Structure 1
Amino acid sequence: MPTPVKPVRADAVRNRALLLAAAEEEFVERGLDASIADIAARAGVAKGTVFRHFDTKDDLIAAIVETHMIALTTTAHRLLESDDAGAALLEFLTVAADRRQQRDVSFLMTASAANPLVATLRDDLVADVGSLVEKARNAGAIRADITGTDVFLLICAPVHVVEFLADPPPDLWRRYLGIIFDGMRPQGATPLSMPAPSWP
């Protein structure tokens, strides 16, 4: 007879959510040197509560990254059902860039790149982006030589570009997303000088 699954207590779910939110804020403010004690204090829980949810600091970082990956994958899945493949791809890039604008956790993604679950979620996201790109290509919305890897690598580009300015307007990244997406359109396309890279 199978062992009954023990229900997760509501306070445990709440504490985990508080910890993830507090940890993300601490890491964004202090970098990877943010301490577990400070994270616990910000979340309003005891330090031991952190370790009841996450065995190590690395596990906590990976859990933050996983929430972002899952959110983007959920968006991609929804947009794959769209009848307008070009608009769907543009919307995905807009959502992804907007999340990056609101909070840059790319350094956490780099720090957790070796985590097996993070790696799997990242590869799943790459595959979903590839499906969005394939649909847009087949619909003639983007040029035939654009790949999913190309688009995945461009996700952060609009926001990264404006970071070179001292005090950019909050939505300036949308201008550069427009330029990038127009560069994907087939109208006026010329051959690219290099082939697309393969995803590792």
Structure 2
Amino acid sequence: MTRAPETRAPATRALRADAARNRSLLLAAAAAEFAERGMDASVADIARRAGIGKGTVFRHYPTKDDLLAAIVLDRVEELAGLARQLFLAEDAGAALFSFLEAAAGKQQQLDFSFLRDAGDINERLRESRERLFAAIVALVERAQAAGAVRADVTGLDVILMMCVPSHVVSFVPGAAPDLWRRYLALVIDGLRPEGAHSLGPVPPIGV
């Protein structure tokens, strides 16, 4: 007796693809809403922006903090993955500078300055941020070993400076879309060993 073709596996894959797409749309809508309204953003507005029901949002993310953590986690994991990938690049200095450019570009797309205190939302997010920071430190140390970055800079210095281009541009009304690149260039030049002067105060040991 001939058996009917198996259709459950493709159907399952399709459902998973739909779920992943819906999750991506929801997080993108939530990120945009939080960026515009900060913590005053409502779940109703987020659901409307994503084109889904409010109940669907709560089913996946029971609280606003859960939703916020998911947004931050996505961004952090994406940057951490990029840092790990660039660590394997042949040119260590170019790898670090490419990472800083990508990080600044993502911050420019959406203002996430209100997420500075989001690291305490849950343990998973804290662990993810620690992995990101460790990956950045590894990029910095490798670039230093290659002579592409001044020796008196710490990984934490670079982590703190990642926000500089986007933060500076936020003070310029009607800034050109690529103005942040000007300040990224200043940050990168400040990291180079050529013409470097003493940094003075002792570097910070935590954020």
Q: TM-score, normalised by structure 1?
A: 0.90
Contact 1:88 1:132 in 2 (8 A): yes
Task: Kindly report which structure 2 residues correspond to 1:181-200, keeping only aligned pairs within 5 A, or say none.
Answer: 181-199=188-206
Counterpart of 1:77?
84
**For residues 159-189 of structure 1, what are the alpha-carbon distances to aligned partners after superposition, in whole Å with 9 as ceiling and x for unaligned?**
2112222122111111111111111111122
**Equivalent residue in structure 2 for 1:24, among 31, 37, 60:** 31
Letter of the structure 1 residue corresponding to residue 113 of structure 2: S
Q: Distance in 2 between matches of 1:176 and 1:12?
A: 39
Q: Sequence identity, in percent?
A: 53
Q: Distance in 2 between matches of 1:114 and 1:51?
A: 17
In the alignment, structure 1 residue 49 sits paired with structure 2 residue 62: no
In the alignment, structure 1 residue 145 sits paired with structure 2 residue 152: yes
**Stretch of structure 1 that moved more, 60-69 or 117-126:** 117-126
Contact 2:65 2:121 in 1 (8 A): no
Counterpart of 2:4?
none
Query: Rg: which structure is higher?
Result: 2
Aligned residues: 194
- Provide the secondary structure at the position in 2 that maps to 1:189: coil
Letter of the structure 1 residue corresponding to residue 150 of structure 2: R
Once the two structures are TM-superposed, the CA of residue 30 in structure 1 deviates from its matched residue by 2.1
Once the two structures are TM-superposed, the CA of residue 105 in structure 1 deviates from its matched residue by 1.6
Q: Distance in 1 between matches of 2:91 and 2:130?
A: 25
**For residues 41-85 of structure 1, what are the alpha-carbon distances to aligned partners after superposition, in whole Å with 9 as ceiling and x for unaligned?**
222222111111112110000000011001101110110001111
Counterpart of 1:167?
174
Counterpart of 1:4?
none
* Unaligned stretches of 5+ residues in structure 1: 1-6
Q: TM-score, normalised by structure 2?
A: 0.87
User: RMSD of aligned C-alpha atoms?
Assistant: 1.6
Q: Distance in 1 between matches of 2:169 and 2:47?
A: 34
- Provide the secondary structure at the position in 1 that maps to 2:24: helix
Counterpart of 1:113?
120
**For residues 99-129 of structure 1, what are the alpha-carbon distances to aligned partners after superposition, in whole Å with 9 as ceiling and x for unaligned?**
0111112313423534211111111111111
Contact 1:58 1:112 in 2 (8 A): no
Q: Distance in 2 between matches of 1:71 and 1:33?
A: 26
Once the two structures are TM-superposed, the CA of residue 196 in structure 1 deviates from its matched residue by 1.4
